């Protein structure tokens, strides 16, 4: 247990070096470790998206077309591989929203229908599995070079 406590105090690069050294001949173990770490982080990423967008697990389940229990599992164990790209696109859109919109206004912004989206909201696009369009819409909203031209 002491070794684990020491590992957590290390610089991330040094911690990675120690894990690699300890499992030098175990490529399969290392691959599983990296996959598990990425999967857990994806759950944290989804949790952040839900918090920023003002969504609960039931609302998220409806948006993704799954049961609330599935979303709960994603938050605890990580997003399934087939949903990683969609969550990554929503995370990038969320980063833009957080950077350019007051955080307490984001839930209203994502629910507001927009003429540029054909009268749909960002939430509507997510419901239709159009996460890439959500990201593109956010990029367009905050393309200040285009606005100044």
For the segment 64-107, what is each residue's pLDDT rounded down to a tens digit?
Answer: 999 999 999 999 999 998 999 999 999 999 999 999 999 999 99
Is the model's pLDDT at 45 over the cut of 90?
Answer: yes
Give pLDDT, residue 18. Answer: 87
Give pLDDT, residue 3. Answer: 59
* Comparison of pLDDT for 122 and 20, the residue scoring more: 122
Q: Which residues are CB-contacts of 124 (< 8 A; sequence separation ≥ 6)?
A: 113, 117
Give pLDDT, residue 109. Answer: 96
């Amino acid at each position: 247990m002491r070794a684990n406590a020491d590992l957590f105090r290390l610089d991330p690069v040094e911690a990675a070096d120690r894990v690699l050294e300890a499992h030098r001949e175990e490529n399969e173990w290392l691959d599983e470790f990296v996959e598990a770490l990425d999967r857990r982080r994806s759950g944290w990423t989804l949790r952040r998206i839900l918090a920023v967008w003002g969504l609960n697990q039931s609302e998220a389940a409806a948006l993704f077309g799954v049961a609330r229990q599935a979303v709960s599992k994603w938050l605890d164990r990580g997003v399934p591989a087939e949903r990683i790209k969609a969550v990554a696109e929503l995370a990038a859109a969320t980063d833009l929203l957080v950077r350019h919109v007051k955080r307490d206004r984001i839930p209203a912004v994502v629910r507001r229908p927009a003429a540029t989206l054909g009268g749909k909201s960002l939430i509507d696009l997510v419901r239709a599995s159009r996460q890439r369009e959500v990201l593109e819409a956010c990029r367009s909203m905050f393309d200040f070079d285009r606005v100044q031209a």
